[in-house]
Amino acid sequence: MSSAAWVGVGHEIVAPRASDDPIIGHSMCTSALRLAVEWPVPGVVVVRIGGEIDLATVPRLTELIRQRLTAAALHAIVLDVSEVSFASSAAIELLLHAQRRAEHRRTRLFVVPGHGAVLRLLTITRLRERFVCRASAAEAVAEARG
66-104 per-residue burial string, b: 16 or more CB within 10 A, e: under 16: eebbeeeebbbbbbbbbbbeebbebbbebbeebbebbee
Q: What is the pLDDT of residues 108-135, one digit of tens each?
A: 999 999 999 999 999 999 999 999 999 9
Distances (CA, A) of 75 to 18, 33, 47, 57: 39, 26, 14, 26
The whole-number pLDDT of residue 31 equals 64
Give the range of the structural domain holding residue 87, as residue numbers without chain letter. Answer: 34-145
Does residue 134 sit in helix, strand or coil? coil
Q: Could you tell me which residue, 60 or 1, shows the higher pLDDT?
A: 60
What are 35's strand-pairing partners?
49
Residue 123 lies in a domain: yes
Type of residue numbered 12: E
Residue 43 confidence (pLDDT) above 60: yes
With residue 110 as reference, give the H or E element that holds it. Answer: strand 108-112
- Residues paired with residue 78 on neighbouring β-strands, in sequence order: 46, 110
| pLDDT higher than threshold 80 for residue 48 | yes
In this structure, is residue 4 part of a structural domain? Answer: no
| Residue 5 included in any domain | no
pLDDT attached to residue 11: 38
